[in-house]
Chain A
């Protein structure tokens, strides 16, 4: 079927169908529902099949976007899936969580005049269809190399490296500190945005490839890197994420009712506290909740809190909405669900009752001045603009720091600013030969796709490294 560019441009972007806000704020079911086959085809038809596809340049793993969209239009979903999987082994996940508006879709030529092709939604459609009908199967086509590789951490970077290395014929063991694999995908990102079933399926496809998972092992304490290297592992890939929550250091931050987003989300997602008391772990969520921050973590914490039934949930962010680093879709979903945004506002202290529970939050208004090193305009407090809001729950989501556990327990690893592991960007090798690193610990962009991209690059250089030995 041929269709002229003019006709293609007449089709308007198909919105992602979503569960009704009234319904979804009372459950943890997935919010975005995904395209059906017909909508997917119509949407894929909007792609102009550019000679020079800028969209591909916007994708950190360079998926051949026009090629897979062409196959969607032709109805060859299996071929579309195969194209995506050449460079992205977790497309069901990326289709859901990639910040498309600053990556592939931002660069799409259609974005200049109107709305870009919904690449993320289409990637999700293809990947889900592929999973549902088992169209593509990853398999090991090469002879076993006889080499053992250890992967530390089972977030997107670790999972990707493990899968890639297994397909190259290496025998891979993943060491994970928690009792479930997936990293932020299981403990951070909530069920209503990324069903855990999908992560479990991805993990089980790695099991099919022969990858071994060793859970409840904290590298640096249960086992050291040097022990791994002495135990027949030819190389180690470090992907422990950057999981230490930051606090602001303001008065009252240790009061009862104040927690980090990591703690709050871990209780709910990993420990299933939303099913308490069927599950043993509780989570505290009062009636008036303030979430501090403007990133994905803040949106996730706010929307998770909302589903636990409070009267009011605020997002408190020191810059304006425009500067919020969260995905656009999450910001919109949060607003639809009734979360109130207090932008250009920063907490300065939390006040408590006599039992040590937070009761009030003192804030100050902010205004934006010149851009700082991150290129965003720097917020400065407006003198004398302090005001108070009653709150009984505060969730701090202002970013993460690196954990120095592994570095302390391992000799010879050089670190860069803020404790990030220093790696050669070409190979992801650290300052110690045979030890590679990627994902958030290597100071990437802190996105799932960037972590995966580094996991892939690392797998390729690990493959070269171990074969040379």
Chain B
């Protein structure tokens, strides 16, 4: 079973994991993800490969605690093992020389943007990155993003760090001021990706979004991850997760990601109980 070589908290409820999975590390490309199962009875959930290193055979995952599975994952520590990891999955990002590329990352989307920024920079693009979060504590990977970008803009909703406002604002200013933008990549919460798509649509700027539908197998077998893109239905786990944002039906996607919400709520209560017991047990052991 894959072992966690390093785990730390990057920000409240956001964790960094470095995991030993040599085969995945050897093949991972920007834009790809893995599917993992924390334990024998666990659910399969997708997580972006935020970084990979062939030499050490490791990949990096940045995980935001939002529900039962990510909570259980967050409980694991350096040295622990993860039951199953499958990957790398999905079609890699298109990496070419486009010119000036603006990358927008919101929340854990920052982690997903990072390997793409690195690769696009290596392909001689001019990289403008705009990363944002609710508040200062939640801005992650600032140094890494700065290193991967020619220009880095930081936004917080509450103005506690960088500029106050949404990540879309600096992009809007760039476009309106006539600065050349050849391509936009947006990864983050659905409302953000939708807003970016609406902003760039009238200008005809090619915009890519990395979608996050519910997934089960990640191999194209279940169709649970299907999304409407233009006139066709695509399976995000094999055809994506990146798609032309101007063609994505965000309304449908946003409804679909809610499909299991009621289950998740009930489940979370039980998991919290389980985890609190575990936490207090660990606390005792740690003393």
Contact = CB atoms under 8 A, between A and B. Distances in A.
Interface of A: 177-179, 187, 215-218, 221-223, 243-245, 247, 249, 253-257, 259-260, 262-263, 266-267, 271-272, 276-282, 284, 355-356, 403, 405
Contact of B222 (A217, A245, A277): A245
A275 to B, nearest CB: 8
Nearest to A352: B255
A178 B217 contact: yes
Nearest to A259: B224
B13 interface: no
Contact of B43 (A243, A262, A281): A281
A213 to B, nearest CB: 13
Contacts of B271: 280
A222 B88 contact: yes
Contacts of B223: 244-245, 247, 259-260, 262-263
A256 B221 contact: no
Contact of B221 (A243, A267, A279): A243
Given A245-B223, A254-B252, A403-B219, A280 B43 contact: yes
Contact of B217 (A177, A247, A249): A177
B219 A177 contact: yes
Question: Sorted from nearest, which 7 A-B pairs have the closest CB atoms?
Answer: A356-B255, A282-B263, A263-B222, A243-B221, A280-B43, A260-B223, A179-B84
B219 A276 contact: no
A356 B252 contact: yes
25 contacts: A178-B217, A178-B219, A216-B84, A221-B27, A221-B88, A222-B87, A222-B88, A223-B27, A243-B220, A245-B221, A245-B222, A247-B223, A247-B226, A263-B224, A272-B41, A276-B263, A278-B41, A280-B68, A281-B44, A281-B216, A282-B263, A282-B264, A284-B259, A356-B258, A403-B221
At the interface, is chain B mostly helix, strand, loop or mixed? mixed
A216 B86 contact: yes
B256 A284 contact: no
B77 interface: no
Interface of B: 23-24, 27, 37, 41-44, 68-69, 72, 83-89, 216-224, 226-228, 233, 235, 238, 251-252, 255-256, 258-260, 263-264, 266-267, 270-271
A179 B83 contact: yes
A355 B262 CA distance: 14
A222 B42 contact: no
A221 B87 contact: yes
Contacts of A243: 219-221
A356 B219 contact: no
Contacts of B260: 282, 284
Contact of A262 (B23, B222, B238, B264): B222
Given A222-B23, A222-B88, A284-B259, A266 B41 contact: no
B89 A221 contact: yes
B220 A403 contact: yes
B90 to A, nearest CB: 9
B267 A222 contact: no
A187 B222 CA distance: 10
Nearest to A242: B221
- Among A277, A279, A280, the one with the most B-chain Cβ atoms within 10 Å of its Cβ is A280
A282 B233 contact: no
Contacts of B44: 179, 271, 281
B224 A222 contact: no
Contact of B266 (A221, A277, A281, A405): A277
Contacts of B270: 277
A259 B256 CA distance: 11
Contact of A222 (B86, B217, B227, B235): B86
Nearest to B225: A263
A433 B270 CA distance: 54
Nearest to B39: A280
Contact of A280 (B69, B228, B252): B69
A254 B219 CA distance: 19
A405 B221 contact: no
A405 B239 CA distance: 10
Contacts of B23: 217, 222-223
A405 B42 CA distance: 26
B95 to A, nearest CB: 17
B267 A356 contact: no
